[in-house]
Amino acid sequence: MKIQILKYWDSIRSSFWFIPITMAIGSMVLAFVALSIDISMTEWLRSAFNWRFTGSVEGSSAVLGTIAGSMITITGVVFSMTLVALSLASSQFGPRMLRNFMRDTTTQVVLGTFIATFIYSLIVLRNIRHTEETIVFTPHFSVSLGVTLAVVSLGVLIYFIHHVSISVQANEIVMRVSKELLEGIESLFLEEKEAEQDSTEMPRGSYDNGFLKVFERDAYPVDATQDGYLQFIDYDALLTLAKQENVVLELKRRPGHYAVAGRPLVMVWPAERVDDQLIVQLIAAFTLGNQRIPRQDIECTINQLVEIAVRALSPGINDPFTAMTCVDRLGSALSRLSERKMPSPYRYDDEGELWLITPVVTFSAITDAAFDQIRQYAHSSAAVTIRLLETIAVVVESANRAEDRAALLRHAEMITKGAHKGLFEAQDRQEVEQRYGVIIQLLK
């Protein structure tokens, strides 16, 4: 249930309809409240709101009709500008960037503002009643509020034009993706001090290598029921279920992996405790979709930065500066990650009993995802190659674990070898060797 809520919330956050519809409903409520104030307004309230609109019924109808017509027109313009920005982002930075643009709260609020003002004006307009002989009802306060909303909408339009012009800039897009990456590191990886107190790396309970061999031999496979990318896994629910059923679970896939229907998704031991109800409960703890999302999958965000860099290095675009910006942001993320505790694959309860074994992401794997493709495409670009080595040198200063430093050294060696094959100028190769030498000195 929890992961279903997370999936629906992520889907809502990435939609253009939720916030505008919410604001439209709010405008309907506001319209009825304003009309109620107009109906019950006493002379004292009329004198207090001496700034209100005091025109005739014809004037009120004309003002609200003008506001409603202009708002629906501007809404169409805003939608057009948004689609142009989405088209530009998709062609320039890759289709996976569309999700980041659709999650932009500013765009959703702007669309909602114009739609809300339009609906408010329509509701108030239909309540202005008059006959040929006499005026029946003119909601002066409601019309005044409608004019105020129109003025606010004009300011929102001006801000939106500025926002769109900023949001399509390469550095701004890279910054937003990088911010999401850093937030993912903060939420998925514990700080060293906190992890030392809650470390799960040492053996507990009945866990030993012999048990793992028995588990691998006798465990019962629960297969995926559909194809798709794993988006969410409810680890808490799996741990609780394992304790209730007195079974040990091993996950064969982690968020971001592609699951194939009919192939093992989770292994259960002992096999004799597996029944149809348990299988249904296990499958319910996994959420699959047609694309990767970054909430539990840090490599998804890294791949977005890598895609921007690789596209920038393509001959059709040839923008090494954007690629270097992506490398800088990746280096910042890896520096923070090197200071974090890598999670253990073994999940225990408070009594120290092993219940859950999960595939985990490692610093080496994340470094591969960050540097491999950029290194392969940048071997003939001296500027990007040098920036890659400079970034590795920065990350090395933060890396304390031997396996992390070994992974960084491995990438530095591959980058240097690729530069010798791809760079034709001796001066460029000398610059690369100099940066490589700095890394060697830092690793000593």
pLDDT for 268 equals 93
pLDDT for 1 equals 57
Q: In sequence order, which ranges of 127-139 are alpha helices (DSSP H)?
A: none
The whole-angstrom separation of Cα 340 and Cα 354 is: 23
Using CA of residue 46, residue 47, residue 50, residue 54, what is the dihedral sign? positive
Q: In sequence order, which residues have a C-beta less than 8 Å from that of residue 430 and are 6 or more positions away?
A: none
- Would you write out the chain's pLDDT as a tens digit for each of its 444 residues? 566 676 777 777 778 888 999 999 999 999 999 888 877 765 555 555 555 555 567 777 888 889 989 999 998 888 888 888 888 878 778 787 777 777 888 889 999 999 999 999 999 888 776 555 545 566 778 888 889 999 999 999 999 999 888 888 888 889 999 999 998 888 888 655 444 444 445 444 445 567 777 887 888 999 999 999 999 898 888 998 999 888 999 999 999 999 999 999 999 988 888 888 999 999 988 989 888 888 888 999 999 999 999 999 988 888 899 999 999 999 999 999 998 888 888 888 877 788 899 998 899 999 999 999 999 999 889 999 999 999 999 999 999 899 999 999 999 999 999 998 888 889 999 999 999 999 999 987
pLDDT for 366 equals 94
The whole-angstrom separation of Cα 63 and Cα 329 is: 51
pLDDT for 213 equals 79
Look up residue 399 and give its DSSP letter.
-
pLDDT for 203 equals 46
The whole-angstrom separation of Cα 394 and Cα 363 is: 15
Nearest residue to 326 via CA among 169, 167, 177, 428: 177
Nearest residue to 167 via CA among 93, 77, 72: 93
Q: Which secondary structure element, helix H or strand E, spans residue 383, and what is its range? A: helix 382-398
Q: What is the pTM of this model?
A: 0.82
Query: Is residue 81 exposed (0-12), middle (13-18) or buried (19+ Cβ within 10 Å)?
Result: middle
SS3 244: helix
Residue with tokens 């968020």: 255
Q: Where are the domains of the chain?
A: 2-168, 297-342+359-443
pLDDT for 56 equals 66
pLDDT for 236 equals 87
Q: At what angle do helices 363-377 and 298-313 cross, to 10 degrees?
A: 10
pLDDT for 62 equals 85
Angle CA 346–349–355, to nearest 5: 50
The whole-angstrom separation of Cα 216 and Cα 250 is: 9
In angstroms, what CA-CA distances link 18 with 21, 157, 239, 350?
Answer: 5, 20, 34, 41
SS3 233: strand
Q: At what angle do helices 298-313 and 320-338 cross, to 10 degrees?
A: 160
Query: Is residue 221 exposed (0-12), middle (13-18) or buried (19+ Cβ within 10 Å)?
Result: middle
pLDDT for 151 equals 93
pLDDT for 14 equals 76
Tell me the Cα Rg of the chain.
29
pLDDT for 79 equals 86
Query: Is residue 126 exposed (0-12), middle (13-18) or buried (19+ Cβ within 10 Å)?
Result: exposed
